[in-house]
Structure 1
Amino acid sequence: MIRIKSICCLLLFMGIGLSSWAQSSAQLKKQREALTREIELLNQTLRSTSKDKSLSLKQVNALNAQINLRVKKIKTINSEVNLIESQIAKNTNTIRSLQNELAKLKKGYASMVQFAFRNSSAYNKLMFIFASNDFNQAYKRLKYLQQFSDSRKKQAKEIEETQKSIEQKIAELASNKKEKVVLLSDQEKEKQALDGQKSVKSKVLNDLTKKEKEYKQELNKKQQEDARLARAIQAAIRREIEEARRKAEEEERRRAAELAKKNPNAKAPEPTARKTDKEALLSTPEAAKLAADFTGNRGRLPWPVASGSVTQGYGQYTYGKGVKVNSNGLTIRTAAGAAVRAVFDGVVTSIVQLQNQYTVIIRHGNYFTVYQNMKTVSVSRNQKVSVKQTIGTVAVDATEGTSDLHFELWQGTSPINPSSWLAGN
């Protein structure tokens, strides 16, 4: 009975461990496949750029992003290999434990068979029963013979099931080892590709050094464009705040007038202090609820495009000698003409057009999401939108043929890093 329990516990432990391992393995595999898709997307855009074109900031960022993605993929593969090695060790130990149990079961079964053989005749069984001192002892001896027979059948079944479990674990072990070989091969290919890309990056940086003057001109031009667009975004958000403040103040005056009308002798209320930007934006129950829901979904917001890869993150970047570019959001490379989606429910507050490209601003209480570099817009100002609703399409760079959406998140009039707000970051 003790052996039966130990085998059951061992098999239960194997089942729980296998379930946990399968879940972790599936997550890592999913992550590796996502990284592969991002790398391939950047490969396509880099291949589509003609070799005779001058190097640009977009190309450099795409190359850097691809190198970072490949490093992440190699780390993911390494985690998968470590997980498989751990599972191989567990399966090996399980097989050893099952084989030990099987040996014990077979030894016990052999003893039972020998005993059964010596007492196999019906005459011996009857003599064993009739030799009893009384009826109770005879009954007990009869029950013992029945239980002995049942126990022998049960032990034979346990031996058969244990043998099957061993065969199953051996098959899993072989599969684990095969998967490990495939992953190690994939990892080696990624390392070779990474070395190649680092060589390309080194050559790119050398070429940029030779063309530093033109490169700085391009960066300065981008800085000016980004600054102009940032001012336009901030002005649009400022107008929205002032409009919200004006409506809130009008509502307060209306309520004060109604109160005075109902009670003419009451003392007039003291004038309220000017509302802060946040108070103005959250002055209605609807706006306060929307902001709370938006905050509650931090880390779960969908991406503004169905698929893409971040080629430039949030913050300040230095290129060349002392040339700095400030990024208020994420630049996401995606497929040409890809649909742009709202990341949450909200209201379109502004549509800004600069140099034949559109920027859409959506308000979510006291938060604003900004979608830049759009070719077409399918929403209008003051229109309510829902999460994942298409609001337009990404523009295609006429020179390079690439499609980059720039996505920003603002809290009031201050930009914040959107990375931790989007799902999967």
Structure 2
Amino acid sequence: MRYLKAVFFVFFLLTGLQVFAQSRAELERRKAQLNKDIEMINRTLSKTSSEKRGTLKQLNALRAQIRLREEKIKTINSEIRIIDGQINENVTQVRSLQAQLTQLKADYAAMIRFAQKNQGAYSKLMYIFAAKDFNQAYKRLKYLQQFGEYRQKQAKYIEDTQKNIRQKIAVLNKNKQEKDHLLGDQQKEKNTLGTAQSKQAKVVSSLTSQERKLKSDLAKKRRDAIALDRAIKAAIDREIALAKKKAEEEARAAAAKAKAAGTAAPVAKTSGSILNSTPEAAKLSADFVSNRGRLPWPVANGVVTEYMGTKRIGNVTVDVSGWTIKTNPGASVRTVFDGKVTTVIDIAGATVVIIQHGEYFTAYKNLSSVNVSKGQKVSTKQSIGTADGNSEIEFHIYKAKDEQDPKYWLAPN
């Protein structure tokens, strides 16, 4: 029973350590990605640092940097909690092993004392010959042999336990060093975060003080967004019109067939269902929906500098559609799902590609080059062009004409 308990203890210990190792590895990977993202944002901030007045681009970059640093601090805190758990576990194991070692030494000392009292060959022979019969004498002989072997095993147990204690103490010291390093990294990030928050406050103050210019910039941004929205919806309208025309032709044929058969005519389709009028389109829409929350990003590496929704800058409120994603210079822009290119258009000096996925549409704005054409079928993660000189793209998702928030569709970065 004692052996089985030991086996179970070792099993659960190893399982727990494996879970800890996996969690640490995941956190380390996430922290490394955050460092890359922060460096990407820092390049943007370094370009705008020479500007005397704050800009929207600078404010968005600072907000993204603050968000990334806050997430990095949370990641470091999670690592520290895991290490604290490992330290507590190792301390418990060291204490347990030390208690075992004390008991093993006590048992071994008792055996040594017993052996010293009965160490003579004469005493051993008398113990064997005092047996009642041959069978008992044989058992006593085997007992003496096993006693000697047990003494050797106990000595080996003591040696192994001492070795385990030394190893655990080494691991414990390593855990403490890692924790000290993480605490230093955490404090450094907190200091940098404080600096970024101060810069953000100054930029907001600067933008607020030049409210007329801010409103002018936001108005232009809004006009560009409206133009993009109109272009996307126009493209969707064209696809709906084509699908509707095809559906009407099929409906007339079905109605004539139903009239001849004396049955009810089929119900007219809505805009959404019109886009799903063919089995291929319906399957594509269903596949798109089934990948909700797991769609790949439109760039391999990127940081969101503007999320969809309403935000406030000083006394000015602005509605943001889609996501603005900062990426690397010349980065490849790729489609997030299988589909068909419906539109390649220039809007206010920015190239936009629109792709249809059944009744869903995705739009990719601010491309410097495009390597797909209207009507072309594309597959998931296929390159459709490259990001422009500012290395920022806009990404939008629509269900028919209703814009969707990408955060519910794209996989966690």
How far apart are 1:33 and its partner, in Å? 1.7
Question: 1:385 corresponds to which letter in structure 2?
Answer: V
Q: Superposed, which structure 2 residues align to 1:235-274 within 5 Å?
A: 235-254=234-253, 266-274=260-268
Separation in structure 1 between the aligned mates of residue 209 and residue 255 of structure 2, nearest angstrom: 70
| Aligned CA-pair RMSD | 2.2
Secondary structure at the counterpart of residue 376 of structure 1: strand
- On the 8 A contact 1:356/1:375 being kept in 2, the answer is no
SS state of the match for residue 125, structure 1?
Answer: helix
**Cα 1:162/1:297, change in 2 over 3 Å:** farther
Q: Aligned equivalents of 2:186 and 2:360: distance in 1?
A: 42
- 406, 409, 419: which one pairs with 2:394? 406
1:276 match: 270
Letter in 2 for 1:72: E
Q: Which residue of 1 aligns with 2:360?
A: 367
Q: Which residue pairs with 1:299 in the alignment?
A: 293
2:314 corresponds to which residue? 320
1:403 aligned partner, one-letter code: S
Please state if 1:379 is matched with 2:378.
no
Give the Cα–Cα distance (whole angstroms) in 1 for the partners of residues 408 and 351 of structure 2.
25
Render the CA deviation track for 1:338-375: whole Å, top value 9, x for unaligned: 11011122222222221332111122222222111111
In structure 2, the residue matched to 1:390 is: 383
Q: CA deviation at 1:229?
A: 0.9
Deviations 1:75-94 (A, max 9, x none): 22122222212221121111
Deviation at 1:277, TM superposition (A): 2.0
Q: Is the 8 A contact 1:369 1:410 kept in 2?
A: yes
- How far is 1:12 from its partner? 2.9
- Mapped partners of 2:148, 2:348: distance in 1: 91
Match of 1:52, SS? coil
Secondary structure of the corresponding residue to residue 26 of structure 2: helix
Single out whichever of 49-58 and 94-103 deviates more from structure 2.
49-58
**Equivalence map 1:215-226=2 (5 Å):** 215-226=214-225
Change (3 A) 1:358 1:148: same
Moved more, 49-58 or 301-310: 49-58
Question: Take 1:50 and 1:190, find their aligned partners in 2: how far apart are those partners?
Answer: 20
Query: For residue 352 of structure 1, what is the amino acid of its counterpart?
Result: I
Q: Output the TM-score relative to the length of structure 2.
A: 0.93
Percent of paired sites with the same residue: 51
Q: Secondary structure at the match of 1:387?
A: coil
Q: Residue 423 of structure 1 aligns to a residue in which SS? A: coil
| Partner Cα distance (2:351, 2:221) in 1 | 16
Partner of 2:118: 119
> Counterpart of 2:228?
229
Listed as ranges, the gaps of 5+ residues in structure 1 are 397-401
- In structure 2, the residue matched to 1:341 is 334
Distance 2:52 2:318 in 1: 22
Q: Does 1:179 align with 2:178?
A: yes
Q: Deviations over 1:272-314 (max 9, x none)?
A: 2220122222222222222222222222221111111111111
Say whether the 8 Å CA contact 1:328–1:416 is kept in structure 2.
Answer: no
Q: Deviation of residue 54 (structure 1)?
A: 4.5
Distance 2:244 2:69 in 1: 49
Offset of 1:20 from its aligned partner?
Answer: 1.4
Deviation of the 1:253 alpha carbon: 4.5
Instruction: Write the deviation string for residues 95-133 of structure 1: whole angstroms up to 9, x where unpaired.
Output: 111110111112112222333343344443333222211
Shift of 1:256: 6.4
Are residue 42 (structure 1) and residue 41 (structure 2) matched?
A: yes
Structure-2 change in CA distance of 1:125 and 1:363 (3 Å): farther
Does the residue aligned with 1:27 lie in a helix, a strand or coil? helix
Query: Is contact 1:348–1:383 with CA below 8 Å preserved after alignment?
Result: yes
Q: Give the TM-score taking structure 1 as reference length.
A: 0.91
Tell me, yes or no, if the aligned pair for 2:275 and 2:281 is still in contact at 8 Å.
yes
Q: Which amino acid aligns with 1:199?
A: S
2:282 match: 288
Q: Structure 1 residue 219: deviation in Å?
A: 0.6
